[in-house]
Amino acid sequence: MRNMQKYVHQDKEHMQKFMHDIKWENLLIDKDGNIVITDFGLSREFGSPERALTANTYTVNYRPPEIILGSTQYGPKSDMWALGVVFIEILMKLQYLFFSINGNSTEVLQKIYALRGTPSPDIWEGYDKLPWKIEFTECNAKNLSKLSILQGYSQDLIDVLDALLQLDPNKRPNASELLDWKYFKECPNESIQLNNFAKQYYQEEMLKYRLQ
């Protein structure tokens, strides 16, 4: 987990008004635990309030809900959502959290709501003004600490994940704020063995898709 702390320290791209296409496939870790970001094909500059940004950014499994719903004004808080997804996927040994075999953003959004609950203007200021609202059956947010994939992890870590995966981007911490959280101040020097889970998971999902 200390590798993730090192990544959060690398906030200079945000200060340069540049966002990434964050996913674990784009993160390379050297023998010293330093993280290098690769593949900037879907990355974006941001910062000008007059400039409308495209929704064609981030790989769909990591695309934040505000972008799926058509927001054209977004920034580094969207990166923090993708970081939260990557964080959980590492704990899941590189299985996908919000997976769509055919890159369907509506399917991804449905899976987001199944975990985080359906939004409303009360919990997400400006939600009712987003252009691409998609109606789903109302559901409540799940308690992350009760999820089987997060059993055995500290409440401090659960708090970090909960903050990163807030539906309202304005409620997510930025990278600098995140480093002040208790989890990162007392970050365990632990490692997780990452076997070939992702490839196996993708192959299984692809087989299900072909059999439909």
How long, in residues, is the chain? Answer: 212
Q: Compute the distance between CA of residue 167 and CA of residue 171 in angstroms, rounded to an integer.
A: 8
Q: Compute the distance between CA of residue 147 and CA of residue 115 in angstroms, rounded to an integer.
A: 10
Are the C-beta atoms of 182 and 17 separated by less than 8 Å? no
Beta strands in the chain (DSSP E): 18-19, 27-29, 35-37, 44-45
Are the C-beta atoms of 72 and 156 separated by less than 8 Å? no
Residues forming a β-bridge with 19: 44
Residues forming a β-bridge with 29: 35
162 SS3 class = helix
* Cα dihedral across residues 28, 59, 100, 62: positive or negative: positive
Task: Choose among 103, 48, 59: nearest CA to 82.
Answer: 59
Active-site residue identified among 21, 39, 156, 168: 21
Q: Is 128 a catalytic residue?
A: no
* Cα dihedral across residues 165, 170, 171, 174: positive or negative: positive
Q: Tokens 């007059």 — which residue?
A: 50
Catalytic residues: 21
